[in-house]
Amino acid sequence: MTIHTILTKLHKYMNTTSPDPSRLAIHTFTLKPWNLQECIAHFQRKDVPAMSVWRNLIDPEEGGIGLKEAAPMIRESGLKVPALVRGGFFPAESDSARQEAIDRNKVYLDEAREIGADMVVLVVGALPGQPLSESRRQVQDGIAALSDHAAQSGVKLAIEPLHPMYAGDKSCVNRMAEAREICEAVQSPWVGIAADVYHIWWDPDVEQELRLSAEQNTLFGFHICDWRLNTRHLLTDRGLMGDGCIDVRHFRQLVESLGFDGYHEVEVFSEEYWGWDQEKYLDLILERYRDNS
């Protein structure tokens, strides 16, 4: 057997290798019909090692059970918690409103510490009618103001760039480059990036930016799902891995080759899948993670 043949076989093997099941995490919002107790019970039953927790299951104002009950439940579950989702939404018209956003995010950092989460994922926000450049400045200022509290809490802040279709009101940070620039300006080891393939797969500079993020030790999170070719809703019609056009396996192998050893977080918003029997949906998630990630 020639060296070329060996290398060809090795390359083929590397590009078909399934992901490490011990690196799987599932966002609770992916299985939105389940409450926190149900998520924990079903994840334990299926040997899912980690879950990222959405605040709607904690905050009583959103129907959650409250931190006092949720925190010990999560800590005693044995499940790792990559992230509390979500914080952010910094841009605002007044100084007082921007300060309220900072104070609110300090609470989220404290909550993340209580449930044992590694980071708070930031959907940074945008103010309709305000120039994106000004919104980005306000985001940078807000994150800088939080960096000391993040260090004190021992919880990271992970900026999640969102696809440009959300630039109007959900996020003025739409590319990895914009998140990197904020990280470079703030210069805190507690500030980094959560890279979600749904939002960044289209960017011609994405591979270079992922490499830069890895070099700068700011690649904190990695989220996976898929982009449906015939998207029916801009927010709640994401695909599960294998439903669409994103080469999820390529991105997973790329970030791993760059030294990322964190969790592969399945984050899917789907009215279609939320309408399924959620136990069957969880089985499909596990299958698609193995075969399409």
- 3-state helix/strand/coil string of 208-269: HHHHHHHHCCCEEEEEECECCCCCCCCCCECECCCCCCCCHHHHHHHHHHCCCCCCEEECCC
Q: What is the pLDDT of residue 197?
A: 98
Distances in Å between the Cα of 87 and the Cα atoms of 16, 91, 93, 261, 266 are 36, 13, 19, 23, 18
Three-class DSSP labels, the chain = CCHHHHHHHHHHHHCCCCCCHHHEEEEHHHHCCCCHHHHHHHHHHCCCCEEEEEHHHCCHHHCCCCHHHHHHHHHCCCCEEEEEEEEECCCCCCHHHHHHHHHHHHHHHHHHHHHCEEEEEEECECCCCCCHHHHHHHHHHHHHHHHHHHHHHCCEEEECCCCHHHCCCCECCCCHHHHHHHHHHHCCCCEEEEEEHHHHCCCCCHHHHHHHHHHCCCEEEEEECECCCCCCCCCCECECCCCCCCCHHHHHHHHHHCCCCCCEEECCCEHHHHCCCHHHHHHHHHHHHHHHC
Confidence of residue 13 (pLDDT cuts 50, 70, 90): very low
Percent of the chain with pLDDT over 70: 95
Are 207 and 171 within 8 A, CB to CB? no
Q: Is the pLDDT of residue 24 over 80?
A: yes
Q: What is the mean pLDDT of the chain?
A: 95
pLDDT tens, residue by residue, 206-233: 999 999 999 999 999 999 999 999 999 9
Question: In DSSP terms, which residues pair with 221 in a beta bridge?
Answer: 194
Q: What is the pLDDT of residue 17?
A: 86
Max alpha carbon distance in the chain (Å)?
A: 70
Q: What's the token pair of residue 242?
A: 């294998």
pLDDT tens, residue by residue, 134-155: 999 999 999 999 999 999 999 9
Residue 192 makes CB contacts below 8 A (sequence gap 6+) with 119, 156, 157, 158, 159, 183, 213, 217, 218, 219, 220, 221
As a whole number, mean pLDDT of residues 274-285 equals 98
Confidence of residue 281 (pLDDT cuts 50, 70, 90): very high
For the domain 23-29+41-223+244-267, what is the CATH code? 3.20.20.150
As a whole number, mean pLDDT of residues 6-35 equals 78
As a whole number, mean pLDDT of residues 36-51 equals 98
62: alpha, beta or left? (left if phi > 0; alpha if psi -120 to 50): alpha
Q: What is the pLDDT of residue 31?
A: 98
pTM of the entire predicted model: 0.93
What number of residues does the chain have?
293
Residue 152 makes CB contacts below 8 A (sequence gap 6+) with none
Calpha distance 248→242 (Å, rounded): 8
